[in-house]
Amino acid sequence: MREAAGTRNSSSPETTVLTSDNYKANRGRVRIGISLLGALLTAVTALFVFGWLSEEVLEGATQHFDAFVRNAIHQVSTPGLTLLMHAFSVLGSVAVITVLSLSAVCAFVCLHRSRTAALLAITMLGVGVLDITLKHAFHRDRPVAFFGMSPSSYSFPSGHALGSLCFYGVLAAILSARVRGRGVRLCIWSAAVVLIAMIGLSRVYLGVHYPSDVIAGYCAAAVWGGTIVFVEQTLELREQLSRKVVGPTDQAGG
């Protein structure tokens, strides 16, 4: 009886360790599964909206909407607000996004976060390809700018909206995953959302994009970002499923 009791007591810590490991593994898989579903739904929904919007643009059905929003925003313009919108527009420009992306990739490499660096690099390279491809596919001319000169590139979709959502959104996801506290995460995501929204608004305010261009840019970014997250989370799930939890018996036998 004493030997049996002793056996049960000695095996209890081992059982606790195995149960804890299994719980953590299952919890991680559930989290990844939710991320996979969310990324898939986001990408599919954004693709549907982008397809519908692009068809409306090609048919000229967005002209009244674009004109109404452009005029409404332009009516509240002031010199101070114009300077502010120029500043936000610069933060979403190709030059600034490129410099920030390269800096972030180099920083992650120096911190031995090669997977994170590769994820960000692939995301931003895809942004460049998408922007050029979609603009030349639709050939939409720019509107007459309210302030300054209109860029020489095509209008649809907005490259500022596409690039800012992908870069600042991915950066916010990376940073929020490595900090503790819901308050800090909320501040990171709030700052990213406000910045991305203001960059898109600045393009309409300055008159260099139609509102439908900006919406399409956000949709294209959501499709690409959702695809990246889906692939990355799928690879992570496969890695977790391939790992074996080594129990005390395996360790003793080895």
Q: How far is Cα 9 from Cα 29, in angstroms, rounded to an integer?
A: 31
Q: Give the percent of the chain with pLDDT over 70.
A: 82
Flag whether pLDDT at 34 surpasses 90. Answer: no
Q: Say what the pLDDT of residue 25 is.
A: 56
Question: Is 4 a residue whose pLDDT tops 80?
Answer: no
Give me the torsion for CA of 124, 127, 133, 136, rounded to 10°: -120
- Residue 188 contacts residue 172 (beta carbons within 8 Å): yes
Average pLDDT in the 99-108 region? Answer: 95
Find the mean pLDDT for residues 210-228: 94
| Assigned domain for 161 exists | yes
| 222 assigned to some structural domain | yes
pLDDT in tens, 106-157: 999 999 998 889 999 999 999 999 999 999 999 999 999 998 888 888 999 9
User: Is 189 a member of any domain?
Assistant: yes
> Is residue 207 a part of any domain in this protein?
yes
Write out the residue range of the structural domain in which residue 186 sits.
25-241
**In whole angstroms, how far apart are CA 102 and each of 70, 84, 94, 97, 123?**
34, 26, 12, 9, 12
- At 48-79, the pLDDT tens digits run 999 999 999 998 899 999 999 999 999 999 99
pLDDT in tens, 195-218: 999 999 999 999 999 999 999 999
| Contact in structure between 247 and 14 (CB atoms under 8 Å) | yes
If one counts the domains in the chain, the total is 1
More confident of the two residues 61 and 236: 61
- The answer to the question of residue 253 being in a domain is no
pLDDT score of 251: 45
Is residue 5 in some structural domain? no
Sign of torsion over alpha carbons 51, 152, 142, 211: positive
Residue at 12 is within a domain:
no
Does a structural domain hold residue 247?
no
